[in-house]
Amino acid sequence: MRTQVVIVGGGPAGTLLSQLLDLEGIENIVLELRSRAYVLSRVRAGVLEQGSLDVLRTAGVGERMEREGQFHDGVNLAFAGRMFRVDLKKLADRQVMIYGQTEVQRDLYDARDRREGQIIFEVEDVELHDLDTAFPFVTYRKDGGEERIDCQFVAGCDGSHGVTRASIPADLARTYERGYPFGWVGILSETPPVNEELIYNIHERGFALCTLRSTHLSRYYLQCQLDDDLADWPDDRFWEELARRVPPSVAERLVTGPSIEKLITPLRSSVTEPMRYERLFLAGDAAHTVPPTGAKGLNLAISDVAYLARGLSQFHRTGSMELLDAYSDTALRRVWKAVRFSWWMTNLTHRFEDGGTFRGRMQEAELEYLSTSIAAQTSMAENYAGLPL
């Protein structure tokens, strides 16, 4: 087979890139390790920045999002039994939308189906070859047979454990990492949300997040130990602990019910530089991961793809490599700002057992300042709602 761009990874980043390239007349093939059903079963972030919404609209996948997504003008923080609101619309002139990653993925697959896009699921043993030449190719196994695709470029959208990041020579890549000594246990329940906007709860027992997927679907998270198991968190214990960590006025409104999904997520920050090696370009989790505190993971994947699509489109139209040569530096400037914000939000909202009393007092002082300073809230609003692409 032959195509212009091979995209390794059929999650949101890879499928969105495929759609954007197709709209520009650029041939591409997507290779995905898992089945379509498996990809659609993965539960991830649900907060979309204004810039992400614009990219998805450009890709022609905004119709259902506009109809079913929920715009939020603000976000709430609760500490010491009280709550204050950061007004995103007023302070940053932007909104965010609650629309789950699974729904974004479904819309993207439907869009590729309509345009007869080629996504090959359940591939094995993907390998990249001759990346340092003008004629790279990708091999993989499917149904017991080996296949080869010749191409001009390879886009790595296969996550932090995929083959594309590992294909950059070790002496040319550097990874910066920060692990956090806790995780999140989260549940999804068919219950009305406790609040119409997100609440970040800071408590001496640990962090709690109240969020939602729709008017009848609620998602809640609790800070937990890294070595916790899902069996440690039966529904009754989860609801009881959540009620302890939110303000009394919020706990009174809490509607509980059986969980329909439950997961434990570790928290870490990781950035690999550069995001490009010759004819290979990394995007999304293949290049970086952030803790979910700042809701930046999916949004960073979308901005990476937007930059990469522009570069590939320029090459397709003019033969110029200018934007592709600048891709890594351009993407990383935005990535590091989002990593900084996610790190700040995580430190602001979580309990660190090794932090001692000094860290706790500094956290209290930061929250007090944030609750009363328009300047501090403006900075948070600008970053939370999303910096310009």
What CA–CA distances, in Å, run from 64 to 45, 69, 79? 17, 8, 36
pLDDT at 76: 98
Q: Are 346 and 293 in contact (CB under 8 A)?
A: yes
User: How far is it, in rounded angstroms, from Cα 5 to Cα 153?
Assistant: 5
User: How far is it, in rounded angstroms, from Cα 62 to Cα 317?
Assistant: 26
Side-chain half-sphere CA neighbours of 84 within 13 A: 12
Q: Which of 292, 307, 327, 350 is catalytic?
A: 292
Cis peptide before 136 (omega within 30 of 0): no
pLDDT at 30: 98
Exposure string for 303-325, b = 16+ CB within 10 A, e = fewer: bbbbbbbbbbbbbbeeeeeebbe
pLDDT at 213: 86
What CA–CA distances, in Å, run from 189 to 250, 257, 259? 17, 6, 5
pTM as predicted: 0.96
User: How far is it, in rounded angstroms, from Cα 35 to Cα 10?
Assistant: 10
Domain boundaries along the sequence of the chain: 5-72+96-177+268-346
Residue 215 is classified by DSSP as: S
247 an active-site residue?
no
384 an active-site residue?
yes
In a 10 Å sphere around its CB, with 0-12 CB exposed, 13-18 middle and 19+ buried, how is residue 160 labelled? middle
Q: Which of 200, 277, 307, 327 is catalytic?
A: 200
Side-chain half-sphere CA neighbours of 303 within 13 A: 25
In tens digits, what is the pLDDT along the chain, a chain of 389 residues? 999 999 999 999 999 999 999 999 999 999 999 999 999 987 676 899 999 999 999 999 999 999 999 999 999 999 998 999 999 999 999 999 999 999 999 999 999 999 999 999 999 999 999 999 999 999 999 999 999 999 999 999 999 999 999 999 999 999 999 999 999 999 999 999 999 999 999 999 999 999 998 889 999 999 999 999 999 999 999 999 999 999 999 999 999 999 999 999 999 999 999 999 999 999 999 999 999 999 999 999 999 999 999 999 999 999 999 999 999 999 999 999 999 999 999 999 999 987 678 888 999 999 999 999 999 999 999 999 999 99
Q: Which of 12, 72, 140, 350 is catalytic?
A: 72
CA dihedral 275, 291, 185, 369 (to 10 degrees): -170
200 an active-site residue?
yes
296 an active-site residue?
yes
Q: Which of 296, 307, 327, 350 is catalytic?
A: 296
User: How far is it, in rounded angstroms, from Cα 71 to Cα 61?
Assistant: 17
pLDDT at 355: 64
> In the CATH scheme, what is the homologous superfamily, with its name and number, of domain 5-72+96-177+268-346?
FAD/NAD(P)-binding domain (3.50.50.60)
Strands 276-277 and 208-212 turn out to be: unpaired
